Amino acid sequence: MDGDANKAPRKTAKNLQDHIRALDEAGLLIRVDTPINKDTEMHPLVRWQFRGGFRPEDRKAWLFTNVIDSKGKHYDMPVLIGAVGASSRVYEVGLGVSVADSHDTWRRALESPTPPRVVETGACQEVVIEGTALDEPGKGLDGLPVPIATPGWDNAPYLSCVGFLTKDPDSGVQNLGTYRAQIKAPRRMGMNTSTQLRTGGYEHWLKYKARGERMPAAYIIGGPPAIAYTGIWKVPEDVSELAVAGTLLGAPIDVVKARTVDLYVPAEAEIVIEGYVDTDYLEPEGPYGESHGHVNTQEYNGIMEVTCITYRRGAVMMSYLSQVHPNETTEIRAIVHEQGYLNHLRRGMGLKGVVQVRTHRPLTGNRKIVFVVVKREMPRTEVWRALYGIANQQRASGKIVIAVNEDIDPDSMDAVMWAIAFRATPHKDIEILKHKDPGHGPDSGLEDEDSGLLIDATLKQDLPPVSLPTKPHMDRAKEIWEKELGLPPILTPEAPWFGYSLGNWPEALQREAERAVAGDYWENGRISAQRRRNDVAMNSEVEISDDS
């Protein structure tokens, strides 16, 4: 696995501890030393900087040093949120280059990956808990301060970053994917691999299932920011995300042999959770506030039995602020998606007149609406090739694709609407592309296909709730923000700033959410275990009744 480091004349953090210091030095870290409840207050508090508390360029990372839960338990381990993508400035500190230069940096990383380097020891294994020690109170997953991301809707704390590390049993290539992981019991957690995106982890799971074997896996938390950036991006199946991260870092990612599974994990990770994912049985997993802007109610998904937890001394728990866009992952995903689209149009299709590609970020989140900025002299046939190229580059992207000239700012919807109103003739300049993949979003249960461009966006049926913390939790976070922390008053909250039901929210899931914020999520995990099945496919929805 050894490889030559790609030299890069930039300053990039080699681990999360260095990155935290760099953020602090840049004035991009808010340190909260007062007690904060990870189950009810933490994510709502950070959410306010995306719902009117700060201007986009002023959003920062948050480090909580005095973490408690709804049962009154105190945790020694701090929690870090917003550390890799809270703003473009935070992103630039993590990647070591400006956003303007990041497209070339990503292009080099994807074209010339740097294989990881195997080392004998790593900081991630300074503390090792395995075997029966995991059953001791506070030594398993119950010892980690994992926050509840969408209090009022989520049924448990969920790991959300950096992600699951798995291995192709045929090729041996490792995959790092950012999937959520429900905390169900001190030695058991869920695994949702986003089957509609055919992620590497899901493809690996299918292969192990065909072999009749459990799938070895490791959940990685922390490490160099470059690892977090690659975990979100879907690289080719025969390329390891850690290799792409090595080029982003400017040096090979050091990896060390895991303790209990046949995987090589980042040596500079903060925390590594090792275990095996069952390929016979699936359990109910969710609800969880998803990045498509609605709560993912409940599905049958993977079960990971934990065999070992390792971490560095003084480890920091990381958590992504996801759910409704904009959020922490919006910035990360947008920049990589835009680079991928631009590279596809310019290099893959040979289009000369494309100036830039921008994704719409607020609420829609990077994939659904895409703007292509082209030169004035670009031939009309080439403009249409660009539009179709975006719509087809990824099967789930480009529901609405709009081409504009350089005088239109794609970040201003007012400007874009002005261009549509005065520069497009509908019967000549608008097309509907049929047979598109519906992509990432709440399952309507009505259609297996979507289409491109304009549709009526009013509610036609009940949908899961808006994936933001409910109003009481956001009100409490606003009170902490303004009165206890003395931060600037939130004068004009940006709607929606709290989650609310859109009709599809069974009482049974409401009870699970209430137990979660009360600290009783182990009970939800116990109920989930009672309902495990071996006759359903992963991501199958759970049939829910109020008697559940």
Pick the range with the lowest mean pLDDT from 84-93, 124-133, 253-262: 84-93
Question: Is pLDDT at 174 greater than 80 in this prediction?
Answer: yes
> In the predicted model, is pLDDT for residue 413 greater than 70?
yes
Distance of alpha carbon 302 from alpha carbon 154, whole angstroms? 17
What's the CA gap between 182 and 197, in Å, rounded? Answer: 20
Highest mean pLDDT among 33-42, 292-301, 434-443: 33-42
pLDDT value for 2: 42
pLDDT higher than threshold 90 for residue 209? yes
Rounding to the nearest 10 degrees, give the CA dihedral for residues 361, 330, 42, 178: 140
Give the span between the Cα atoms of 273 and 193, in whole angstroms. Answer: 17
Q: Which of 4-13, 22-31, 278-287 has the lowest mean pLDDT?
A: 4-13
Nearest CA among 349, 399, 398 for reference residue 378:
349
Please state which of the ranges 74-88, 351-365, 428-442 shows the lowest mean pLDDT. 428-442
- Least confident interval from 20-29, 333-342, 403-412: 333-342
CA distances from 302 to 112, 263, 430, 509 (A): 33, 19, 43, 19
- 329-429 CATH choice from 3.40.1000.10, 3.40.50.2300, 3.40.1670.10, 3.30.1490.390: 3.40.1670.10
Domain boundaries, the chain: 16-324, 329-429
Residue range 254-260: mean pLDDT, rounded:
98
Pairing relation of β-strands 181-185 and 188-191?
antiparallel
| Average pLDDT of every residue of the chain | 87
Q: Kind and range of the H or E element at 46?
A: helix 42-47
pLDDT band at 409 (very low <50, low <70, confident <90, very high): confident
pLDDT at 338 over 90: no
Q: Phi/psi at 344 (nearest 5 deg)? A: -65, -45
**Residue 471 and residue 449 in contact, taking contact as beta carbons nearer than 8 Å:** no
Burial of 335 (0-12, 13-18, 19+ CB in 10 A): buried
Rounded mean pLDDT of 328-339? 74
Task: Give Cα 417 distance to the centre of its chain.
Answer: 30
Q: Is the pLDDT of residue 398 over 80?
A: no
Residue 495 neighbours by CB under 8 Å, 6+ apart? none
Mean pLDDT for 412-416 is 80
Mean pLDDT of 283-301: 87
Per-residue burial over 291-301, b if 16 or more Cβ lie within 10 Å, else e, is bbbbbbbbbbb
Distance separating alpha carbons of residues 450 and 435, to the nearest angstrom: 6
Residue 458 has pLDDT above 60, yes or no: no
pLDDT score for 499: 87
Q: Is 469 exposed, middle or buried, given 0-12, 13-18 or 19+ CB atoms closer than 10 A? A: buried
Residue 222 β-bridge partners: none
Structural domain 16-324, CATH architecture: Roll (2.30)
Q: Which region among 34-38, 203-207, 428-432, 544-548 has the lowest average model confidence (pLDDT)? A: 544-548
State the Cα–Cα distance between residues 74 and 324, nearest whole angstrom.
Answer: 29
Mean pLDDT of 194-222: 90
Least confident of 176-180, 412-416, 511-515: 412-416
Q: Which residues pair with 317 in a beta bridge?
A: 79
Q: Which long-range contacts (CB under 8 A, 24 or more apart) does 330-334 make?
A: 330/85, 330/361, 330/365, 330/366, 331/85, 331/86, 331/87, 331/88, 331/90, 331/91, 331/361, 332/84, 332/85, 332/91, 332/228, 332/229, 332/232, 333/232, 333/233, 333/365, 333/366, 334/359, 334/361, 334/366
Q: How far apart (Å, rounded) are the C-alpha atoms in residues 544 and 332?
A: 35
| Residue whose pair of structure tokens reads 């400007």 in the numeric block | 415
Lowest mean pLDDT among 267-281, 334-348, 369-383: 334-348
**Distance separating the N- and C-terminal Cα atoms of the chain:** 49
Is the pLDDT at 455 greater than 70, yes or no? no
- The predicted pLDDT at position 443 comes to 59
Provide the token pair at 192.
Answer: 């949702």
Query: What is the number of alpha carbons within 13 Å of residue 187 lying toward its C-beta?
Result: 16
Query: What is the share, in percent, of the chain residues with pLDDT greater than 90?
Result: 55
Rounded to an integer, what is the distance from CA 524 to the centroid of its chain? 23
pLDDT: which is higher, 384 or 140: 140
Task: Assess whether pLDDT exceeds 80 at residue 327.
Answer: no
What's the pTM value of the predicted model, to 2 decimals?
0.79
How many other CB atoms are found less than 10 A from the CB of residue 259? 18
Lowest mean pLDDT among 185-189, 289-293, 403-407, 426-430: 289-293
Q: In percent, how much of the chain has pLDDT > 70?
A: 90
**What is the C-alpha to C-alpha distance for residues 222 and 340, in angstroms, rounded to an integer?**
25
Mean pLDDT over 333-362 rounds to: 84
Q: What pLDDT is recorded for position 120?
A: 96
